Structure 1
Amino acid sequence: MSFTVRVGRKRAAGAALAAVLLAGGAVGCGSEKSDKAGEDMAPVAAVKKAADKTEDLTSFTFRMKGTVPGDGRVQADAAMSIKPLAMQMKMSAPDQGPEKMELRYVDGGVYLGGGEAAAKEMDGKSWIKFDAKAMEKAGGKSAATSASAQADNNPADQSTLLTGSKDLKKVGSETVGGVETTHYTGTVTLDQMRKLLENEDAATKKRREKGIKQYEDMGVEKLTMDMWIDGEDHTKQFRARGKGDKGRLDMTITFIDYNKPVNVEAPPKAQVMDLSKEMKGLQG
């Protein structure tokens, strides 16, 4: 397998994972129902109510589409389990190449599948395996370490960041994926996000700081965030936009389902090429 193709696939996987880490965090979970989407309450109260229900999140399925600074366009369909951590994502990153790929994270390993195109270059093996934990210890900054970082980071935490907005407002009622929702929007800076953490316990603060750092690493200092909240106070859709050092961030995630079993299996060993040692050398 050529160096160019290998790095290209790694970059595409990294782009998709960056999108998940950055914008995948706006799910509110709970069983309380109201008569209409988002209820008739002040915008801050409605957004906070959805954000406060994130702790019960165990799994979700979603679609995402948008752009990531430095990596370009990304689109994907995915399912993710929080405990135990597992993820399966079918994705494409057109600006990194024409190939469609599948990414699986299971049992600490990241598997990137390229289908028939990959098999032609890897002696019939269509999957590449990255050892996330080993690469993290080696100081790597790859797609594998990005996925590993999710292990203790509930992706729903980022929904709390919009509550720090000083200009949060209700846009109106909209239908998203056949579901009636209430649309809210506001802008928030990284400093405002950090201020929200002052009264949190140490564990929560540490976990939520990871989400803020993702924006910081992209050079995004201010975000426009939109949330579409349904009648059960779930966030049905979330959009994050901002200007980074290497371009614009504009990512929309639409949530399909919540708290249903997500089963992710590692590909058959005969179809996997383990590149852990080689990738450690590339990181060096």
Structure 2
Amino acid sequence: MLTYRKRAAGAALAGVLLLAGATACEGGKKDGTGKAAAPSPADRRPSGRTADAKDVEALTTAYGKTAAAKSAKVRMAVSVPQSSGGAGAPIETTGVQGWDPGVVDLTVKGASAPGLGSGSMRVIGLKDVSYVQLPADSPLASGGKRWVKLDLKEAGGTTDVLSKLGGLGDAPRQGQDPARQLALMISSPDLKRVGTEQVAGADVEHYAGTLTVDELLAAKGSNAVLTPEDHGKLVAEMRAAGIQGYTLEVWLDGAGLPVRTKTVAHTPGGSDAPHKRFDVDASYSEYGAAVTVQAPPENETVDLFGMLTKLGEGA
């Protein structure tokens, strides 16, 4: 029971770190048995691309505005799968996110687990380094050190541990910025304008589409907002995370900026690994909001590597 509680805490903590852009991933598991894998986004899509040139132009313009804004306030719900492949409870966050440079300062709710503590947590992301402030009553805090640190430059060694804790070894990057999602949507072969809807009392335009890694490859050179280098990075990220494809939605306000995005990342599954989906539902406001965060003092932080290794061993 003690080992289970510690592993559950470690899995919850890893899920929280995903919100700050932390990624512990390697090539997705392949189904080499000949058995059917889980349905891909392509199997669930409406037939044909119904978006016209005006719709693509609207998304292209929105991409430019969003990229130029560099930051926004965000409210996000993220669901990461359990080890069985089933969806976990949503992790709810509010705060501010920057994507040029990459930085976040979030308050996280809904990530509690046995052994982790109660109450909200603060998450800071500074480029390649993420920090989580544990709840005051967390038994994982030791010697007054409530901040947990993960340096992505050294993250290659955590994949096996994360996988044991919560099936997160092939987790995709969850903290995607809205400009990146717009770029993916423009390449969608079934992109469509859903119609005019209301969000927070204002009229917005709703767009939807799906995209597999093979379709993204085929779209090279046809996406007006992606340079060849950017295109290659997106393909490499999807492959490295074991992502089969995305289901994408975006809502643009009257100024042509995303006020909401929904992204579902799908992994293939198979006999040795269940199909998994990672859901991110984000709302954005106050584009250009200041993001000023600092790393916590080093003497108040504990390294995630050692902590997760102990948890994975059942220590």
For residues 116-265 of structure 1, the aligned pairs below 5 Å read 116-118=136-138, 121-133=141-153, 135-136=154-155, 138-141=156-159, 156-198=179-221, 201-213=227-239, 217-218=242-243, 220-221=244-245, 223-241=246-264, 243-244=266-267, 245=269, 246-265=275-294
Counterpart of 2:95 (choices 40, 63, 78) is 78
| C-alpha distance in 2 between matches for 1:213 and 1:12 | 24
TM-score by length of 2: 0.65
User: Could you tell me whether the CA contact under 8 Å between 2:21 and 2:125 is conserved in 1?
Assistant: no
- CA shift, 1:94, in A, is 4.6
Q: Secondary structure at the match of 2:158?
A: coil
For residues 99-110 of structure 1, the aligned pairs below 5 Å read 99=118, 100-106=120-126, 108-110=128-130
**1:40-85 C-alpha deviation (Å, 9 max, x unpaired):** 9733332233234443242222111142333623221132233443
| C-alpha distance in 2 between matches for 1:20 and 1:274 | 16
**Shift in CA distance, 20/161, structure 1 to aligned 2, threshold 3 Å:** farther
| C-alpha distance in 1 between matches for 2:284 and 2:61 | 18
For residues 57-96 of structure 1, the aligned pairs below 5 Å read 57-70=69-82, 72=88, 73-94=90-111, 96=113
User: Greater helix percent: which structure?
Assistant: 1
User: Which position in structure 1 is the counterpart of 2:11?
Assistant: 11
Question: How many corresponding residue pairs?
Answer: 258
| C-alpha distance in 2 between matches for 1:224 and 1:181 | 20
**Shift in CA distance, 182/8, structure 1 to aligned 2, threshold 3 Å:** same
| C-alpha distance in 2 between matches for 1:150 and 1:247 | 14
- CA shift, 1:268, in A, is 4.0
User: Could you tell me whether the CA contact under 8 Å between 1:140 and 1:283 is conserved in 2?
Assistant: no
Runs of at least 5 residues in structure 2 that lack an aligned partner in the other structure: 23-51, 164-168, 270-274
User: Could you tell me whether the CA contact under 8 Å between 2:7 and 2:312 is conserved in 1?
Assistant: no
**Shift in CA distance, 82/238, structure 1 to aligned 2, threshold 3 Å:** closer
| C-alpha distance in 2 between matches for 1:95 and 1:115 | 9
Amino acid at match of 2:146: S
| C-alpha distance in 2 between matches for 1:193 and 1:5 | 40
- CA shift, 1:161, in A, is 1.4
**Shift in CA distance, 265/150, structure 1 to aligned 2, threshold 3 Å:** farther
User: Could you tell me whether the CA contact under 8 Å between 2:6 and 2:311 is conserved in 1?
Assistant: no
**1:158-216 C-alpha deviation (Å, 9 max, x unpaired):** 311112233322222222234431111223332222223346544322332355347x5
Amino acid at match of 1:254: S
Q: Secondary structure at the match of 1:217?
A: coil
**Shift in CA distance, 255/211, structure 1 to aligned 2, threshold 3 Å:** farther
User: Could you tell me whether the CA contact under 8 Å between 2:209 and 2:249 is conserved in 1?
Assistant: yes
| C-alpha distance in 2 between matches for 1:102 and 1:6 | 20
| C-alpha distance in 1 between matches for 2:126 and 2:110 | 22
User: Which position in structure 2 is the counterpart of 1:35?
Assistant: none
Amino acid at match of 1:232: A
Runs of at least 5 residues in structure 1 that lack an aligned partner in the other structure: 23-39
| C-alpha distance in 2 between matches for 1:262 and 1:44 | 30
User: Could you tell me whether the CA contact under 8 Å between 1:67 and 1:250 is conserved in 2?
Assistant: yes
**Shift in CA distance, 196/281, structure 1 to aligned 2, threshold 3 Å:** farther
Q: CA RMSD in A?
A: 4.0
| C-alpha distance in 2 between matches for 1:167 and 1:90 | 35
